[in-house]
Amino acid sequence: MSIIYYVAAVVAVVSVMLLSYFLGQRHNERATATPYESGIKETGSARVRFGVDFYLIAAFFVIFDVESMFLVTWSVAARELGLQAFVHISIFAALILGALFYLWRIGALAIGTPSSRGHNP
């Protein structure tokens, strides 16, 4: 039965693509091939290089954002989970704050020149 389903799905996809190809409009204007974002013409190259600081801050944001989801989830069910879960989440929060303090202390959260983060060139 599943073979019939897969064959029907492939036939449907191929037929839609063929119908779109034969019945669709074709434009050969110069503006058709020009990329744009939200109706705004491009002003430069899309290949912009970002510094390592940008990616470092982005990684920290993702990590701490996921950890905040754990805290919100715990806070929703805090009454049902009891005192033991409170102790565990307190340890978890202390570790998060310790990691944040460590990152701040070594200058990993500072964006700028290496000398502004306490490193000598």
Q: What confidence tens digit (pLDDT) does each residue in 10-56 have?
A: 999 999 999 998 998 877 777 776 666 666 766 777 677 777 778 88
Residue with tokens 């500072």: 110
Task: Tell me the domain boundaries of the chain.
Answer: 2-41, 52-117
SS3 content of the chain, % helix, strand, coil (to 5): 70, 5, 25
pLDDT, one tens digit per residue, over 44-90 is 776 777 777 788 888 888 888 888 888 898 889 888 988 999 999 99
pTM of model > 0.75: no
**What is the residue type of 77?**
A
* Number of residues that this document lists for the chain: 121
pLDDT at 37: 67
pLDDT at position 120 is 45
Whether residue 85 contacts residue 74, with contact meaning beta carbons closer than 8 Å, is answered with yes
| pLDDT beyond 60 at 118 | no
**Model confidence at 121: pLDDT above 50:** no
Class of domain 52-117: mainly alpha
Q: How confident is the model at residue 112 (pLDDT cuts 50, 70, 90)?
A: low
pLDDT at 95: 92
Amino acid 58: pLDDT: 85
For residue 32 the two structure tokens come to 């058709």
